[in-house]
Amino acid sequence: MTHAAYQGAHPTGEQTLPPTVAVLLAAGKSTRMRSRLPKPLHPLCGLPVTAHVVRACWEAGVERVVVVVGHEAERVRAGLVEATPEGCSLEFVHQERPLGTGDAVRAAQSLLESWPHTVLVLAGDTPLLRPPTLRRLVEARVQAHVPVAMLTMELQNPTGYGRIIRDEKGHVIGIVEERDATPEQRRCRECNPSIYAFDGPRLWKALAQLRPNNAQGEYYLTDVIGWFVQQGAPVETVAIEDPNEALGINTRVELAQAAALLRARLLENLMLSGVTVVDPMSTWVDVDVTVGQDSVIQPNTLLLRGTQVGEECVLGPFARIEGCRLGNRVQVYASWLADSVLEDDVRVGPYAQIRPNSHLGAGVRIGNFVELKNAMLGPRAQASHLSYLGDAEIGEGTNIGAGTITCNYDGFQKHRTQIGPRAFVGSHSTLVAPVEIGEGAFIAAGSVITANVPADALAIARSHQIVKEGWAADYRRRKAGKGEQKNTSK
Ligand code: UD1
Ligand code: MG
């Protein structure tokens, strides 16, 4: 496992965590999501829900992450592996049937039984957790020498969460699920975020005692807490400062709430690092998006899937930029861009579409209603209006006139158009690929180019213009002579 390499890459890598492994529960049926897509894979700011929890564990310094899968196991496994940063290997164990959270943890026992230190157990549906919170929890258990430390939180509206029950002295005596709670217990607002640090050997012993004596007939992990207390072992609690961190996603309403909170957090980080976000309410950024200092994000702009933006850029209003790399001083107005590279000082839009595998050299200008796909444009090349440039290579400083189209598809295959540097393609030209236009060549406006054009040549490929002097006046006279109605509108 190359986990150490990943640790070094994150800002908290210097802080060491007492030896810890993590078990993530992601085998449930996600009934309340009412979705064909399993809950762990629902996208949230560019990552599947459970991948956020996986990352929080790695960033906290956990040594192994074991994910318990069951419902749609293969799909969940593939989705999480794909979303996990390079250098972190995930392990998966299978829970045969969804018999409850306690049973789910038991599925990891054979893998982790010999681990003598802390086992962190987390629900896979709490994606807002922060690594420092996990570290605090693990440290609290180790320092207090207790079999379990658990996070707790106070909620204004605790509906749906397990409640933490304490005795008169304030010691935890157990957790009661909402379905099993008395009306009085339901009024309690101290809730269980479902994040625990256990002493490994004592966890497995406790799980063996679980019985499904509850409203759902499930093996509840929460019952382990009560069992420890009955055995006379104290339970340590660590209050979460920001209860939003433990928001559990059970419905799509909570998914949207989590997205709003995470988005606010990501935007706040950008703003504090020197980026102007004109309207945070209408701006979306995914995790792993980076934006350089003094860039300005205008309203209704989305920066998605690992997009990297340089300094002093202006993005939006109304831009959607996905999987792209932008240099410095790039301006993108009201346009869609995907999986492309824009070097310094490029200007795009409004109303342009840059489709995948395009590369725009420094100072390129792409104007309104221009579509690019798999197109390489050299520095300062321009296509300012109404063009389609697909599977094309366009040299430095070349000007593409309004309405130019590369005909890259013959109904069966795609073909390339190559245009050298400093060429001039007149407006409304049709370039039938495969075709090459040499350096400095001129294409007359309205040409249909079907053969290569050498460097510095002029190509005219349109019918000759015929001018018949006086023809229009004659025509009108002839028609008037026959008594036909004259159209006087101009
Ligand atoms: C659980 C806790 C509750 C807590 C809440 C916090 C229990 C019994 N209840 O309730 O006290 O307040 O989380 O969000 O633990 N899972 C499995 N296998 C199963 C069942 C569940 O892997 O057999 C997984 C789910 O995929 C999910 C996690 O465990 O990721 C929690 O399950 P969920 O059904 O969401 O539990 P809650 O009702 O939210
Ligand atoms: Mg839940």
Task: Kindly report the protein residue whose alpha carbon is nearest to atom 35 of ligand 1.
Answer: 250
The pLDDT of residue 481 is: 86
Average confidence (pLDDT) over 352-374: 98
The pLDDT of residue 489 is: 56
The pLDDT of residue 482 is: 78
Average confidence (pLDDT) over 190-214: 96
Q: How far apart are CA 397 and CA 79, in angstroms?
A: 43
What is the CA(243)–ligand 2 centre distance, in A? 15
What is the CA(260)–ligand 1 centre distance, in A? 22
The SS3 of residue 105 is: helix
Residue 485 in this model has a pLDDT that exceeds 60: no
The pLDDT of residue 5 is: 32
Q: Do residues 62 and 21 touch, judged by C-beta distance below 8 A?
A: yes
**Shortest-distance atom of ligand 1 to CA 97:** 23
Residue 164 in this model has a pLDDT that exceeds 80: yes
Average confidence (pLDDT) over 393-416: 98
Which one of the ligands is nearest to 26 CA?
A: 1
Q: Tell me the H-state helices in 41-182.
A: 49-60, 73-83, 101-106, 109-112, 131-144
**Cβ 99 under 6 angstroms from ligand 1:** yes
**Shortest-distance atom of ligand 1 to CA 193:** 6
Q: What is the largest CA-CA distance in the chain?
A: 117
Mean pLDDT of the chain: 94
The pLDDT of residue 490 is: 52
- Detail the DSSP E strand segments found in 307-416: 308-309, 314-315, 320-322, 325-326, 331-332, 336-338, 341-342, 347-348, 353-354, 359-360, 365-377, 382-394, 399-400, 405-407
**Shortest-distance atom of ligand 1 to CA 191:** 12
Q: How far apart are CA 233 and CA 353, in angstroms?
A: 63
**Cβ 27 under 6 angstroms from ligand 1:** yes
Domain 20-246 sits in which CATH superfamily? Spore Coat Polysaccharide Biosynthesis Protein SpsA; Chain A (3.90.550.10)
Mutation to probe ligand 1, out of 50, 101, 105, 122 (largest number of atoms < 8 A from CB): 101
Percent of the chain residues past pLDDT 90, beyond the cut: 92
What is the CA(193)–ligand 2 centre distance, in A? 9
**Cβ 123 under 6 angstroms from ligand 1:** yes
Residue 433 in this model has a pLDDT that exceeds 80: yes
- List of residues 6+ apart from 473 with CB closer than 8 A: none
Q: What are phi and psi of 487, to 5 degrees?
A: -90, 110
Pull the structure tokens for residue 143. 């320092």
Least confident of 81-85, 136-140, 483-487: 483-487
Which one of the ligands is nearest to 247 CA?
A: 1
Q: Which helix (H) or strand (E) holds 475?
A: helix 471-481
User: Using a CB cutoff of 8 Å and minimum separation of 24, what contacts does 2-5 make?
Assistant: 2/87, 2/89, 3/58, 3/63, 3/87, 3/88, 3/89, 5/87
pLDDT tens sequence across 119-133: 999 999 999 999 999
pLDDT tens sequence across 241-265: 898 999 999 999 999 999 999 999 9
Q: Do residues 118 and 17 touch, judged by C-beta distance below 8 A?
A: no
What is the CA(34)–ligand 2 centre distance, in A? 14
**Cβ 68 under 6 angstroms from ligand 1:** yes
The pLDDT of residue 350 is: 98
- Detail the DSSP E strand segments found in 230-346: 235-239, 276-277, 283-285, 290-291, 296-297, 301-304, 308-309, 314-315, 320-322, 325-326, 331-332, 336-338, 341-342
Strands 320-322 and 336-338: parallel
Q: Do residues 422 and 428 touch, judged by C-beta distance below 8 A?
A: no
**Cβ 102 under 6 angstroms from ligand 1:** no
pLDDT tens sequence across 24-75: 999 998 999 999 999 999 999 999 999 999 999 999 999 999 999 999 999 9
**Cβ 418 under 6 angstroms from ligand 1:** no
**Shortest-distance atom of ligand 1 to CA 250:** 35
**Shortest-distance atom of ligand 1 to CA 161:** 12
Mutation to probe ligand 1, out of 105, 194, 225, 255 (largest number of atoms < 8 A from CB): 194
What is the CA(250)–ligand 2 centre distance, in A? 5
pLDDT tens sequence across 151-161: 999 999 999 99
- List of residues 6+ apart from 180 with CB closer than 8 A: 214, 215
User: Is residue 385 flagged as an active site residue?
Assistant: yes
Residue of 398 and 1 predicted with greater confidence: 398
Residue 466 in this model has a pLDDT that exceeds 80: yes
- pTM for the full model? 0.90
Q: Which helix (H) or strand (E) holds 270?
A: helix 252-272
Residue 166 in this model has a pLDDT that exceeds 80: yes
**Shortest-distance atom of ligand 1 to CA 162:** 11
Give ∠ CA 317-318-320 in degrees, rounded to 5.
125
**Cβ 124 under 6 angstroms from ligand 1:** yes
What is the CA(222)–ligand 2 centre distance, in A? 13
**Cβ 48 under 6 angstroms from ligand 1:** no
**Cβ 250 under 6 angstroms from ligand 1:** yes
Q: Which of 3, 10, 117, 385 is catalytic?
A: 385
Which one of the ligands is nearest to 159 CA?
A: 1
Is domain 269-459 classified as CATH 1.10.10.10?
no
Q: If 0-12 CB within 10 Å is exposed, 13-18 middle and 19+ buried, where does residue 74 land? A: exposed
Percent of the chain residues past pLDDT 70, beyond the cut: 96
**Cβ 220 under 6 angstroms from ligand 1:** yes
Sorted by where each begins, the domain ranges of the chain are 20-246, 269-459
What is the CA(232)–ligand 2 centre distance, in A? 29
Query: Which DSSP letter does residue 490 get?
Result: -
**Cβ 245 under 6 angstroms from ligand 1:** no
pLDDT tens sequence across 292-347: 999 999 999 999 999 999 999 999 999 999 999 999 999 999 999 999 999 999 99
The pLDDT of residue 243 is: 87
